Structure 1
Amino acid sequence: MTTFLSALAGKAAEKWLALLLLPGVVYLAGVAAAVVLGHAHALDPAELQLAIDRLAAHPGASSAGAILLVAAGVLAAATLAGMCARASAVVVECLWTSRGDRWPGRLLVRRRVHRWQRADAACEAAGTRAELARAMERREAIALVRPRRPTWIGDRLHAADQRVYDAYGLELGAAWPRLWLTVPDAVRAELLSAREAYGAAFGLAGWAALYLLLGAWWWPALCAAAVVAATAWIRGRSATAVFADLVEATVDLHAITLAQELGLTGERPALTREVGDAITTTLRKDPPPDPHRDPPGAV
């Protein structure tokens, strides 16, 4: 038990260092630059050098007690900044995954639906398999199913629920807690890792919000906010896609085990060619190919 607790404490310290302390120290450096330089001397290294020299010449700069006190204050302030960023991340996640029931969310949903319908019409009008593949790629870049959320991230999470229901008639919200108990540990580890990457993207967005606030006193912080926000959005889309795909894959591979645990089905059938074809069609969740269309690669 002592070894376990020591390992757990080590992991907690690593997460504290990576998620709160180091980004918080960088943010505090930006705060210091904002206080010293402001908008007027935002990129003036000479002004910053003068401020450092004045600080070094202060009588307390050579006191060990003062240095220790300042270091403790910096650690506390950096941790506090990290906690504020995490709180901001929760707000950002709520916005990016909102249902769009209110304005302006409803406007964004209608715009996304209009774009998706045009892409869907292009799929219907495709004359060859190559044209259909390109049209489906454009449609899926908007959403895998008819949009119901204001953002791509919200729609990708919704699509996982919708696709599972359309394929199996399974309510994912009701089945997931039971399914989680039946999957192997390796599957849980992959899901937890994907969920952690998903949360880290929102954590970046939380830092972007803090840098945006700092931009009121030091304009270079606005540039930092834009870069961090763009990185958070790109990582968020990627992490959401991976997480949603893993959720669907978990259902595809292990929902039958859940059904067997609940006593809803018999033994698994033997793997034949017909069963293999059925599995492929089911996992792709696409309609069967039209025999009248051109073969893949035809133009």
Structure 2
Amino acid sequence: MNAFLTELGKNLATRWAAALALPAAVFVAVVVVAVMLGPSHALDVDLLWTRVRTVSTGPALAWAAAAFLAATAVVGLSVTALGGIVIAAWAATGAGVGRPFVGLRHRRWRRATVRADAAVKAVLVDRSDLGAKSNAQRALLRRNAISEIEPTCPTWAGDRLRSVDDRVRRGTGLDLTTTWPRLWLVLPDAARTEVTTVQERCGSAARMPVWGLAYLAVGVYWWPALVPAVWALLVSRRRIRRAVGVYADLVEASIDLYARDVANQLGFELTGRMTPAIGEQLTEVLRKQPG
């Protein structure tokens, strides 16, 4: 999972300008409007127009434009850094600050698992019962919405990425953190482009709660900013789940399709599927450890 999060961090650091120029400019504009109008004249368009005209001519305009561009750059860099913190939180463990969140998620998962197991047993008792099958499917979906595996991370995103690592290790014997950098070198251009695109979506999704909190801070002073704040905070959870889910699926698909190419490059000369025994040998080779 650390390899995935490192790649996401790189995208946050190198692509912020294109991704954040417009939203950062909009945020700075909202802050400027909030300062100009204040809470007592929150929607006074005439007052806003009057105050804008005072800086729209002469040297004041040049200084205002320079300040606006500088503030936009600062906001963009700040949101990039905070988005990186959000991504780092996905890899947090159940120790320290994350322990209460892991405990809460684990209790919810255990209750959902008990209900799912009971629903599946009901299907095994009578396989012709369509109602029981439907109940079992819903119960499994509710459990997986919490986590596909037993939770050990404070966030759904962390456990979703960890579940890929777990399935790859059980299915192929490969350690994903060790294998991923080598796999990246053998991926065709089309696959790399697809992975990079989804990484950018993950970075954008990680920034959504940051924007929400930023607008919320402005909204404390100027209430109209609460509208984008609430929208961003409500949308962020769904966007993170969607982006991370697609990223996890794409990484697992890359292993399924191209792990054999890594093995062949290292002299294993596979003609069939990657088995756990071969995957464990390959992992030892990649770790530079003696067999």
- TM exceeding 0.5: yes
Specify which of 97, 100, 109 is matched with residue 107 of structure 1: 100
Within a 5 Å distance, the mapping from 1:180-195 to structure 2 comes to 180-195=184-199
AA aligned to 1:68 is A
Aligned with 1:215: secondary structure? helix
Name the structure 1 match of 2:47: 50
Name the structure 1 match of 2:12: none
Aligned with 1:72: secondary structure? helix
AA aligned to 2:30 is G
Within a 5 Å distance, the mapping from 1:156-167 to structure 2 comes to 156-167=160-171
Within a 5 Å distance, the mapping from 1:218-237 to structure 2 comes to 218-237=222-241
TM-score (norm 1): 0.75
Deviation of the 1:173 alpha carbon: 0.5
For residues 163-194 of structure 1, the C-alpha deviation after alignment (integer angstroms, 9 at most, x for no partner) is 11122222100111111112211111111111
- Distance (whole Å) between structure 1 residues aligned to residue 270 and residue 145 of structure 2: 39
Specify which of 57, 62, 66 is matched with residue 57 of structure 2: 62
CA contact (8 A) 2:92 2:154 kept: yes
1:116 equivalenced with 2:109 (yes/no): yes
- Distance (whole Å) between structure 2 residues aligned to residue 146 and residue 27 of structure 1: 39
Structure 2 CA distance for partners of 1:55 and 1:216, relative to 1, 3 Å: same
Structure 2 CA distance for partners of 1:55 and 1:190, relative to 1, 3 Å: closer
- Distance (whole Å) between structure 2 residues aligned to residue 170 and residue 111 of structure 1: 31
Deviation of the 1:50 alpha carbon: 2.1
* Superposed CA RMSD: 2.4
Within a 5 Å distance, the mapping from 1:36-47 to structure 2 comes to 36-42=36-42, 44-45=43-44
Aligned with 1:216: secondary structure? helix
- Distance (whole Å) between structure 2 residues aligned to residue 15 and residue 96 of structure 1: 20
Specify which of 246, 258, 264 is matched with residue 254 of structure 1: 258
AA aligned to 1:31 is V
Deviation of the 1:93 alpha carbon: 2.3
Deviation of the 1:51 alpha carbon: 4.0
Name the structure 2 match of 1:27: 27
Query: Percent of counterpart pairs with the same letter?
Result: 39
4+ runs deviating over 3 angstroms: none
- Distance (whole Å) between structure 2 residues aligned to residue 51 and residue 207 of structure 1: 24
Aligned residues: 249
For residues 5-41 of structure 1, the C-alpha deviation after alignment (integer angstroms, 9 at most, x for no partner) is xxxxxxxxx973x533321221122212221232333
Name the structure 1 match of 2:203: 199
Structure 2 CA distance for partners of 1:31 and 1:106, relative to 1, 3 Å: same
Structure 2 CA distance for partners of 1:101 and 1:114, relative to 1, 3 Å: same
Q: Name structure 2 gaps, 5 residues minimum.
A: 1-14, 128-132, 276-291
Aligned with 2:220: secondary structure? coil
- Distance (whole Å) between structure 1 residues aligned to residue 47 and residue 207 of structure 2: 35
Structure 2 CA distance for partners of 1:81 and 1:98, relative to 1, 3 Å: same
CA contact (8 A) 1:161 1:171 kept: yes
Q: Name structure 1 gaps, 5 residues minimum.
A: 1-13, 270-277, 279-299
Specify which of 73, 76, 80 is matched with residue 70 of structure 2: 76
Higher helix share: 2
1:98 equivalenced with 2:98 (yes/no): no
CA contact (8 A) 2:36 2:48 kept: yes
Deviation of the 1:72 alpha carbon: 2.7
AA aligned to 1:268 is G
1:85 equivalenced with 2:79 (yes/no): yes
Specify which of 148, 155, 169 is matched with residue 152 of structure 2: 148
- Distance (whole Å) between structure 1 residues aligned to residue 51 and residue 112 of structure 2: 63
